[in-house]
Structure 1
C-alpha cells in the first residue's frame, strides 16, 4: 500500500494527480526527425511541422526535471524494418502522401529503423541507459516489450508526452489505461499538426471524470518533481 508521504499532488484536470514516488515513469513518444523536421513523413502528408517543434522546449525541461529526481525516462520511435515486413499494406498504402514509408528522403528512408530521420531530435536525445522502444504501430504497447519493462521497474503511473496528441499519444494512453496504468498527459509537451485535434484530444483524456487519465501543464509537473527532490534531500 502506498503511504501518503510517498505521494505528491500535481494540479491537474479533472482532479489533482497523485504522483507516486518510485512508481512513475516519463514516456516520450515519437519525437523523431521524420515527424518534426522538414522532409520527413509528417511534412510528406502536407503538415506544418513547426507546430510539433513547439513541444521540444517544454519537453526538454520536463525530461531534465525527471532525470534530476530519478524518474525513468522511456523513449519511443515509430518505424519499420528495412524490408517493411512489419508494415501492413493498410498502413503502407494509405492516403496520398508525397513520400511513402520506405521512400528515400533527405534524412534517409522514411520511417525506417536505423535511418537518420527515424531517430529522435538532437534536443531530446536519450541518455545512455535510457530505454528506447521501437514500435511498428501507433501504440507503444503493440508488438513491443514496454509492458515488461514497466513491470520490471515497478511502474504503475505514466507521465505521457510526445506526438501526435490524437494518434500515438492517444493510442498509447488508451492502451495504458486498459492495462491499469494511471496516465498524466502533459498538455504543452504533446503536439498535433491540427490545433483543433490538440484541443479535443486533451479534452477526451480528461472527460467524464478522467476516462483515460489526467491532464496537467509542464510547469505544474516540473514543480511537483522539484518538491519531490526537495523532500528527498531535506535532512530528517
Structure 2
C-alpha cells in the first residue's frame, strides 16, 4: 500500500478505489460581477487556487482515475430553492435574480458554469446540487457506489461551507476523505484554517489534509 504524506498522519492510498471531487469552481464564485463578489467577497482568493486545482485534475486524468465536478445551482423555476436560502440577509443579488452573468446560481446560466481552465472533459461526471453538500438531492452516492469508490480527494470552494459539508456527508457514508490543501479556499482565510483543524482533529475525525504535490505523486507511483 502506498501512503500519502498527510496530516494528522499518512493517508493509506488505495489507488483503484480513489476519486477526485472538485466542488463548485464556478464563475459566480470566482469572477468579478458574480454572486460571490456581489456579497462583498474578495474573489481573487478563489482564482488564486485555479492552477493548483488544474494540476490536481491533470494528475487524476493522467492516472486514469475518476474526476467528478459539482456546481451549486437551482432549477429556473426555483422549485428546489427553499425560501430560507433565498431570502436571508440583504444581498445586492439574490439567487435567481438577473445579474451580470445571467440569473444567479441557476442551471444553464453563464455564471453557473465551471471556470474554463477547470472545465470537465467528455466522460467526467458533473453534479448539479441545490444544497451545500453534494450528496443532498443528487445521484452522487449512487455514482460513487457504481464506480467502486471508497476514498475521495476533495478540492474546491469554499473550504468551510460546501467542501467541508460534502466531506462530512462522505465521512458519514464510510468514505475516507482527503483534502488537497492548496486546491481549496475560502473568502476568509481564518475560516479555511479552522475548517482544516476541525476536519483533521481527533485522529482525522472527518478526514486528512495533504499537499497537491503529495497527492499527485502518490497516485502516479501507486
- 1:66-215 to structure 2, matched below 5 A, reads 66-215=60-209
- 1:219-234 to structure 2, matched below 5 A, reads 219-228=213-222
Displaced runs of 4+ in structure 1, greater than 6 A?
none
From 48, 54, 58, the equivalent of 1:54 is 48
How big is the shift at 1:226? Answer: 2.2
From 10, 13, 27, the equivalent of 1:16 is 10
Aligned residues: 222
How big is the shift at 1:89? Answer: 0.4
Structure 2 gap ranges (5+): none
2:15·2:219 contact (CA, 8 Å) conserved in 1?
no
1:55-87 deviation per Cα after TM superposition (whole angstroms, max 9, x unaligned): 110010010010001110000000000011100
Structure 1 gap ranges (5+): 1-6, 229-236
| Alpha-carbon distance in 2 for matches of 1:85, 1:24 | 34
2:133·2:166 contact (CA, 8 Å) conserved in 1?
yes
| Residue 25 of structure 2 corresponds to residue 31 of structure 1 | yes
Tell me the SS of whatever aligns to 2:216: helix
From 44, 57, 62, the equivalent of 1:63 is 57
2:200·2:206 contact (CA, 8 Å) conserved in 1?
yes
How big is the shift at 1:105? Answer: 1.2
1:46·1:97 contact (CA, 8 Å) conserved in 2?
no
| Alpha-carbon distance in 2 for matches of 1:119, 1:102 | 15
How big is the shift at 1:225? Answer: 1.9
| Alpha-carbon distance in 2 for matches of 1:40, 1:112 | 12
| Alpha-carbon distance in 1 for matches of 2:170, 2:89 | 28
Tell me the SS of whatever aligns to 1:22: helix
Q: Please tell me the root mean square deviation across aligned C-alpha atoms, in Å.
A: 0.7
1:30·1:163 contact (CA, 8 Å) conserved in 2?
yes
Whose Rg is larger? Answer: 1
1:45·1:96 contact (CA, 8 Å) conserved in 2?
no
| Alpha-carbon distance in 2 for matches of 1:201, 1:95 | 23
2:24·2:70 contact (CA, 8 Å) conserved in 1?
yes
Tell me the SS of whatever aligns to 2:16: coil
